[in-house]
Structure 1
Amino acid sequence: MEFANKEYLLLLLLIIPYIIWYVMYRKKTEPTLRMSDTFAFRYAPKSWKVKLMPLSMLLRLLVFVMIVMVLARPQTRNSWDSKTVEGIDIMLAMDVSTSMLAEDLRPNRIEAAKQVASEFIIGRPNDNIGLAIFAGESFTQCPMTTDHASLLNLLQNVRTDIAARGLIEDGTAIGMGLANAVSRLKDSKAKSKVVILLTDGSNNRGDISPSTAAEIAKSLGIRVYTIGVGTNKVAPYPMPVAGGVQYVNVPVEIDTKTLSEIASITEGDFYRATNTNELRKIYKEIDQLEKSKLNVKTFSKRYEAYQPFALVAVLALLLEILLRVTIFRRIP
C-alpha cells in the first residue's frame, strides 16, 4: 500500500503533545473534595469506570489517526512496472501433420507433444516463448511472449485436422517450420536464442530445405534442438473408415540424419523420443539452457483504499460520543 499525499502523515506528530497535555493537565480538570485525612481511602479499589476513563482519550486518538490516514490517500498500487529478470528467447516449432495422430505415444503423438511442451512452458515463467506449427506449410500460432497463459491456450488449440481439412497442405516441411521459427527470433536481443523443433517424419514439402534454414539460424546465432518422436519400425495409426476407426500399422520414417545435421550446424543437439517419458526427459535436459537478462513490463492499476480507515474513524467517533454521554457523563 502507498500514500498519494504522504505529507499529511506528518500530522501524526501532533499526537505526542496531546498525550503530554493529557497526562500533565488531566487532573486539574477533575473535581476534587478536601478531606482532613485520606488514609481510609488509600487502599480503596478503583471502580471499572475509573479504569476505563483513558478509553475516551484512546478513541479520540484513533479517530485522529484514521482521519490523517484518509487525508494521506492510501492506495493499492497497480501500475506499469519495468523489471529485469533472467530469461531466454525460445521458439517451439511443432509438427502438426496427420501422422502425428499415431498412437505409439499416449494418447497420441500430438497430444503427448502438447502436454510435455505445456509443462516446459510452465517451468520457465520468465522466458519469451513462441509457437510455430508446420505440416506441408508453416505459420506462427503464437509470437514470442511472456504471457504464458495465452500461449498455453493457443497451444492446446493446436490440432492436426487443419491439414486433414485442407486448411494447409499436408506433409512435413521441416525447412519451412524452422525458417518460420527463426524469422521470429532474428530481431531478438537475448544472449541465448533457441528453437526446439519437434517432428515425426522426413522433409517432403516446402520451398526452403532444412539445411538452408539451419544455415540461416547459425548466421543469427540461434541454436536448434531437434526432436524426432515415434517408435522404431511401425506405429498404430487410427484410419477413419465407414462407421468408425480402424487401426493400421504405419512405418515410422524419421529423417534422423537431417535432424542431426540441423542440430550440428547450429551447435544444438538431436534427440529421439520413442515414448512420452523420454520426451519429458528431453525437455528437462533442454530446460538446463543458460539464461539471459530480459526486460519485462507488467501493467496494473491504482485503487483508492481509504474506505476502511474512514469507516474505523466514524465508528470510533460514534463510540466515543456514546461513552461520553452515558458511562463517562459528568455532572457539573
Structure 2
Amino acid sequence: MLRFAHIEFLWGLAGVPLLLLLFIWVTRWKQKALTRLGDKQVVHKMMPEVSFSRPWLKVILWLSAFTFLIIGLADPQLGSHTEDVKRKGADLMVLLDVSNSMLAEDIAPSRLENAKRALTQLVDNLHDNDRIGLIVFAGQAYVQMPVTTDYSAAKLFLGTINTNMVPTQGTAIGDAINLGMKSFDFKNGTGKAMIIITDGENHEDDAVAAAKAAHDSNVMINVVGIGSQEGAPIPVVLPNGQRQGYHLDENGKQVITKMNEEACKEIAAAGGGVYTRATNANSGLGVVMTQIGKVQRKMYGSKSFKDFEDRFQYFIGLALVLLAVEFFISARRNMRLSRIKLFEVENK
C-alpha cells in the first residue's frame, strides 16, 4: 500500500504544466523575434554557437528534477504487509435531531450547536478502539458517517451538520433507530448502543416500538432531551447562515417549540437505557456514557498495514542527479566538438 506522509506537498506538481507553458511561450516569442531579423537560415549561420534543441533538453531535465523533488518532499511510504489486529471495543451510534426546532435558543447558543459541542467532547473521551457512527434525522433519517474508529473524521462530520441536511421536516425518531440497527455489524459480537439527542417534539412514527425492538436485539437506547419545557421561538435561518425573523403559524404568531420530555423518557425506557436532560450547564452525556460503560466490550478483528518504509530518498537522489546533469549541459554548442565529423567522408 502506498501513502504519502505529507500529501499536501503534491500540490506543487501543479506548477509543472504552468512552467512548461511559460517556457513554450518564451521560446515562441524568441523565434518570432529572430524571424523579424531576416531569413531563418542566414540568422542561424550568424549565430553558430546558439543551440535551439539544448534549451528543450535542459528544461525537460529541470522539470523532471522538480517533479521528483516534490514527490520526495511528500515522502512516499510503502506498507510492506498487512496483519490481523485484534481490538477490544464497543459500537456506538449517535442519532442527532436536525429538525428546525433544534435551532431554538433556549439552550445556548442553540439546541443543535449545544449538542454538536457536547458530541465533540464525547468523541475526545471515547475509550480506545470504541467505534462511533452518526445518523442525522428530521422527517427522514440518513447515515452521515458509518461506525468507525476514525475520531478525527467524526469531529469533521459533526462540524458540517446543519438543519438543511434533511429536506423533509419532522422528527422521525423510529426511522432513525431502524436505520441505526441496519448500520451495525452484528457479526463482530461487540456491545452496541445508541445515543439519541432530540427535543422529542412531533415524532411521527412509533419510536417506542423501534426502541423496544432494538433492545430485544441487545442494543441499548439512550436519550438526551435537549430544550426547555417552557419552549422558545424557532429562528428562520437562510442557507447562507443569516437569520430572518422567526417561524410563524398560519395565524401569523410565532411558533413555540417545547421539549417533549415524556416521549424521550418512554423511548429510553423501552430501549433499556437512560434518559437525561441537557441544560446550559450540563450536556447530560456524562450520565449516558456511564450507562454505556456497562456495555460489554468484545474483541473484533481488522486488517491494517504495518511497517511503512520511507521512499523519499530515491526521489530526492534522482532529482539531484538530474539537476547535476542539467547544470553541466551548456545552452550553447561546443564549437570544437561540432567540427568533428565522425560520419563524413573526406574528399581527396
Same fold (TM over 0.5): yes
Asked if 1 retains the 8 angstrom alpha-carbon contact of 2:224 and 2:285, the reply is no
Q: 1:288 aligns with which of 286, 293, 299?
A: 293
Distance in 1 between residues matched to 2:305 and 2:108, nearest whole Å: 40
How far did 1:302 drift?
Answer: 3.2
Q: How does 1:238-257 map to 2 (within 5 A)?
A: 238-239=235-236, 244-245=244-245, 251-257=256-262
Distance in 2 between residues matched to 1:229 and 1:243, nearest whole Å: 22
Distance in 2 between residues matched to 1:112 and 1:300, nearest whole Å: 39
How far did 1:204 drift?
Answer: 3.5
SS in 2 for 1:299: strand
Percentage of pairs with the same residue = 29
Q: 2:94 aligns with which of 82, 92, 95?
A: 92
Q: CA 1:228–1:184 in 2, change beyond 3 Å: closer, same or farther? A: same
Asked if 2 retains the 8 angstrom alpha-carbon contact of 1:203 and 1:210, the reply is no
Instruction: Specify every segment of 5 or more residues in structure 1 that has no aligned partner in the other structure, as ranges.
Output: 1-74, 308-332
Structure 2 partner of 1:174:
173
How far did 1:99 drift?
Answer: 0.8
Deviates more, 1:99-108 or 1:181-190: 181-190
For residues 87-121 of structure 1, the C-alpha deviation after alignment (integer angstroms, 9 at most, x for no partner) is 10111111000111111222211111111112112
Distance in 2 between residues matched to 1:258 and 1:188, nearest whole Å: 32
For residues 143-182 of structure 1, the C-alpha deviation after alignment (integer angstroms, 9 at most, x for no partner) is 111122222212211111234xxxx210111111111112
Number of residue equivalences: 229
Deviates more, 1:148-157 or 1:84-93: 148-157
SS in 2 for 1:150: helix
Distance in 2 between residues matched to 1:210 and 1:114, nearest whole Å: 23
Distance in 1 between residues matched to 2:218 and 2:243, nearest whole Å: 52
Distance in 1 between residues matched to 2:264 and 2:221, nearest whole Å: 10
Are 2:264 and 1:259 aligned?
A: yes
Q: CA 1:210–1:203 in 2, change beyond 3 Å: closer, same or farther? A: farther
SS in 2 for 1:162: coil
Q: CA 1:109–1:286 in 2, change beyond 3 Å: closer, same or farther? A: farther
Distance in 2 between residues matched to 1:227 and 1:300, nearest whole Å: 40
Asked if 1 retains the 8 angstrom alpha-carbon contact of 2:196 and 2:222, the reply is yes
Q: Larger radius of gyration, structure 1 or 2? A: 1
Structure 2 partner of 1:82:
84
Q: CA 1:304–1:128 in 2, change beyond 3 Å: closer, same or farther? A: closer
Distance in 2 between residues matched to 1:193 and 1:281, nearest whole Å: 17
Asked if 2 retains the 8 angstrom alpha-carbon contact of 1:105 and 1:276, the reply is no
TM superposition score normalised by structure 2: 0.57
TM superposition score normalised by structure 1: 0.60
